[in-house]
Amino acid sequence: MPIETRRSDDGQTLTIRVEGRFDFSTHQAFRDAYEHSDASINRYVIDLSDTTYLDSSALGMLLLLRDHAGGDSASISIENCNSDVRRILSISNFEQLFSIC
């Protein structure tokens, strides 16, 4: 499955792992991953360790998640990016909006 979710033991962090291509084909699964979580989630981790490709629709999905999570006050980190994915995020100035590790 291209999108997997995992809640932390304390129930406050939702980790969303994207496998393979992060593009429009994962749009609905990505939205479902966070829209159906409960209000106790206050931090999101996007794990891109197994992501091979990211396009402009994926950037849009990350922005929709940011809006859902509270905009400027959102706590979202994007982790484990390969060099190609990190370059796309950097060119798009996403380090201004997200914590990228």
Q: Note the pLDDT tens digit of each residue in 24-58.
A: 999 999 999 999 877 789 999 999 999 999 999 99
Query: What mean pLDDT value characterizes the chain?
Result: 94
Domains of the chain and any CATH numbers:
3-100 (3.30.750.24)
* Residue 23 contacts residue 60 (beta carbons within 8 Å): no
**Distance (Å, whole) CA 69 – CA 32:** 14
What is the model's pTM?
Answer: 0.93
Q: pLDDT value at position 40?
A: 86
* Residue 76 contacts residue 46 (beta carbons within 8 Å): yes
- pLDDT greater at residue 94 or residue 1: 94
> Looking at residue 26, what DSSP letter applies?
G
Q: pLDDT value at position 88?
A: 94
**Distance (Å, whole) CA 49 – CA 3:** 12
Q: Is the pLDDT score of 1 beyond 80?
A: no
The runs of H, that is alpha helices, within 1-101 are 27-35, 56-68, 83-91
